[in-house]
Amino acid sequence: MRSELRTKGNDWMALAPGKLLRIGSNPRCDVVLEGDSFVSGHHANLEHRPPMTRLFEHSANGSTVDGKSVHHKTRLLSQNSQIGFGKSLLEFRTLPGDAPPPSDLPRSGRYKCESCTRMVRRRTPKIERYEFLEFLGAGRAGEVYLALDRETKALVAIKFYVLKNPDEEQLKKDVVRFLKGLQAHSELGEHPFVIGYRDSGYIPGAGIYLVTDLVDGCDFHSLVVEQGPLEWPVAKELFEEILEGLHFLHENQTAHRDIKPSNIMAEPKEGKWTAKIADFDLTHNFFKAGLDSYTSTKTAFYSEGFSPPEQIMQFQKLDPSADIYAIGMTFYFILMGNLPLAEMGDKPAFPELEAQFPVRSPIRDPLKKKNLPTAAIDALERCLRRNPADRFANAGELKKALFGG
Ligand SMILES: Nc1ncnc2c1ncn2[C@@H]1O[C@H](COP(=O)(O)OP(=O)(O)OP(=O)(O)O)[C@@H](O)[C@H]1O
Ligand SMILES: [Mg+2]
């Protein structure tokens, strides 16, 4: 496959794999948009690493991708994406045929946005070993940044957990317990489909930080929302990787406890996506450590739509079959772009939530339209059983049912 870009009305230009293009009104940019006062000198970067093509937006006025506003954010491009910069329109397409030879252009344009750098500096604490470079996203616990590890020279992801506890002494004890839990992850060892632990620490006022390998791609939630659901042949290979990673955790007596699309990362490698599992057991550590600022309910950890019913009531007793329910929901979301759940209505207050856990809508017919083999549909249906004993016991069993072996 080859990919191309053009400014509307001009010729198509081939994108070499590995290419990073600077786009803006400055004549030194690779794509120069002249005579448009709404275009910044260096408006955006476009990175092409098949199967991923993404835009890093850096402008003063913002841009659009397929009609949706993007400002100081990263957005994936998909087939026939239309990118609006000021009054200019860029188009992107992928066609059958050979791609040009890989580009050896250094990916040096990536961190050049001064206002992003200023923002990152303002929002991150000083940690001698790390130079914070980019904001990657925010979740329930806090923010995630891309940083340079000055010791190893590697790019890493640093996640902060904002902690609030008026009792200083208690907070100190909780922090020590939480850090111990995080450090236990390093003892698991490395796995190709699980994000590697690198470091952790505590900065008073800023919270606990966890340093992991950077996944230079996107999470599966963004992938599906920005590019659409995956077809079975592509999804199948990724599911196998995800289940291998999850099997590794289960074999090591670790349940993930928060499987969902945003906790599984996708990264381009040799022209294909590859998967890595993130955020395992963190909620559990948080709970064990007695920290209470992670969720709004304070007593339960769950991700609406993905967590099984028993997680809402009995968080501490979860076993790998809870991950099986969550992975069933996650795989369905990756294939269909939505969840097979009836409307939940107004959110009831915990603990009545379990009683009103949404009823699962049928999954067979939607999945058949995606040409899934019957055995795969049967396996996904079994993952989503309400009673944990009726599901597969762990990821190894599910992998066998889906892929044999
Ligand atoms: N190791 C990593 N490498 C690259 N990006 C990451 C990494 N870890 C997290 N991110 C990005 O940071 C974003 C925020 O992550 P975070 O785990 O805080 O939130 P979340 O997964 O959306 O929600 P939750 O708090 O429920 O886990 C993710 O959506 C992901 O895109
Ligand atoms: Mg997460």
**pLDDT tens, 50-96?**
999 999 998 888 999 999 999 988 999 999 999 999 999 999 999 99
Residue length, the chain? 405
Alpha carbon separation from 13 to 5, 348, 363, 391 (Å, rounded): 5, 54, 42, 51
- What does each C-alpha distance from 76 to 81, 270, 319 come to in angstroms? 9, 18, 35
Question: Does pTM surpass 0.85?
Answer: yes
Q: Please state, for a pLDDT cut of 90, what percent of the chain lies above it.
A: 58
Q: What is the mean pLDDT of residues 7-12?
A: 91
From atom 16 of ligand 1, which residue's Cα is the shortest distance away?
139
Q: For 114-213, which CATH class?
A: alpha beta
Over range 193-212, report the average pLDDT: 91
In the predicted model, is pLDDT for residue 352 greater than 70? no
> For residue 364, is pLDDT > 90?
yes
Ligand 1, atom 1, lies closest to the CA of 214
CA 97 from chain centre, in angstroms, equals 30
Q: Is 212 in the pocket of ligand 1 (CB under 6 A)?
A: yes
CA distance 309 to 237: 29
Band the pLDDT of 108: cuts 50, 70, 90.
very low
Please compute the mean of the pLDDT values over residues 265-285 and round it to a whole number: 87
Q: What pLDDT score does 109 carry? A: 43
Binding site membership of 134 for ligand 1 (Cβ less than 6 Å) = no
pLDDT of residue 292: 53
> What is the CA(144)–ligand 1 centre distance, in A?
6
Distance 33 CA to ligand 2 centre (A): 37
- For the chain, give the mean pLDDT: 87
Predicted confidence band at 299 (pLDDT cuts at 50, 70, 90)?
A: very low
Q: Which CATH number fits domain 218-403: 3.40.640.10, 1.10.510.10, 3.40.50.920, 3.30.1490.20?
A: 1.10.510.10
Q: Which ligand is nearest to the CA of 294?
A: 1
The span from the CA of 74 to the CA of 53, in Å, is 10
Distance from residue 99's CA to the centre of ligand 1 (Å):
32
Q: Domain extents for the chain? A: 2-95, 114-213, 218-403
Q: Is the CB of 214 under 6 A from ligand 1?
A: yes
Closest CA to 141 of 92, 93, 206, 68: 206
**Interatomic CA distance for residues 32 and 29, integer angstroms:** 6
- Max mean pLDDT among 212-221, 292-301, 347-356 falls in 212-221
* CATH fold for domain 2-95: Tumour Suppressor Smad4 (2.60.200)
Rounded to the nearest angstrom, the distance between the alpha carbon of 51 and the centre of ligand 2 is: 23
Find out whether the beta carbon of 195 lies less than 6 Å from any atom of ligand 1.
yes
Strands 2-7 and 143-149 turn out to be unpaired
Q: Cis link prior to 351 (omega < 30° from 0)?
A: yes
**β-bridge mates for residue 224, sequence order:** none
